[in-house]
Structure 1
Amino acid sequence: MKSVNLFCFPFAGGSSIAYFPWKRYLHPAIKLQSVELAGRGARCKMPFYIDFKEAIDDIYEQVCPLLEERPYVMFGHSMGALLVYALIERIRNKGGPFPKHLFFSGRYPPHIRKESFEKYQSDDELIQRILRFGGTPKELFEVPELAEMYLEIFRADFHLIDTYIHIDHSQYEFDISVLTGREDLDVTREDIESWKCYTSHSCHLNTFEGGHFYLKDRIQDVVGYINKISTDVC
């Protein structure tokens, strides 16, 4: 099979390193391209984005040179799923090549808005919301320096989500996959089913054991699924 780029986009509070453990299980022909957002990781010196549009502007500039390199697929978890959706719309508007497949994980479709994160004014309120998602050790917030750093990143990412403006577009003419944790309290079965209207082709629904961050505990299962789909389509 041809080699394929797998672009992965982080969840709120996350960075590109979240996907590095996947390298151990990825098919040799799949090249991991873990996208880093401003304000964290190797780009920690850069200011956070002022809004969602600026984030997509920056991400598009990062991935654009690689879009013609080889076929590609994209995976986004939670906030990352929203980034994937908006980025594909930007690629469409720029006349770029479409992906072979999209993997949307841990999030309801973009047309659904459930809450505004602006209501979490105090650090304690925000910390409780973050802990409800799971995936972030409680002990992290017991170290003042770490708590301050991570809360700054979370607030920046939640601001991105709040500034997202949904615009409908025509259905995708390729397959998509939707992945979720069986015990995820923020994503219902109805939410998952709603993704089907985003493509005129097949929408594969996949439920894994675990909560919102099922992908941290089920790495082999998740990557195995991505391997199967990506090698089939490319």
Structure 2
Amino acid sequence: MRRLLHPPCPPRKARHVPDSQPPSQIIIAVPKGRILAEALPLLARAGVHPEASFSDENSRALRFATNDPAISLIRVRAFDVATFVAHGAAQLGIVGSDVIAEFGYSELYAPVDLGIGHCRLSVAEPAEMAAQDDPRGWSHVRVATKYPHVTAAHFASRGVQAECVKLNGAMELAPTLGLAPRIVDLVSSGRTLLENGLVEVETIMEVTSRLVVNRAAMKTRSRVVPLVEAFRRAVETQEIAA
């Protein structure tokens, strides 16, 4: 029986995408909490104006439109900003240098120091302990912190073995409840430490908020580089005004 030969299929043509199709949306991750108030003026100077509900503390929404249909904002916990951007769920973000150091994501690029969120990552202990203590004599420390990697690396560089107890909040309770005699946490005014009977004994790093970018998005999304430059100009304008 003769087999019927089918003529070869013609080559498939690439589907035409009309020019009117909206571009892929750029998502900027911003942190909840005290940094948000400082970030808003920077966003405005960079030309990004969120919808009114973004500033509503009672709003349960997490994603917000802006004046530019191609840009939206998500409002997440500070520690989560780095993760969203590193994994490409957001293309840009605003996050502290403490978080960048703790996670060490290779996918993150931090091209702009935004000059906001000034604080420090410090070691603190009860005042009565500090009166008789000398950090230069430490060989082993037990600390409560949400920065175990930065903390361990800091003490390792000094030849000190660090036992880190991971906490996500209420750090100041650790010494009084016997969880750990010392803590490593962010310090701004020092008021929280004072009210809980703690004092700073060592500074690990000075902290500011940075603009972070997903490295792949910076190469593939045409809107990302202009946004980075807009933030850079916004910081320069802020410094001149100051």
Same fold (TM over 0.5): no
Question: Whose radius of gyration is greater, 1 or 2?
Answer: 2
Higher relative contact order (CA 8 A, sep 6+): 2
Q: TM-score scaled by structure 2? A: 0.32
Greater helix share, structure number:
1
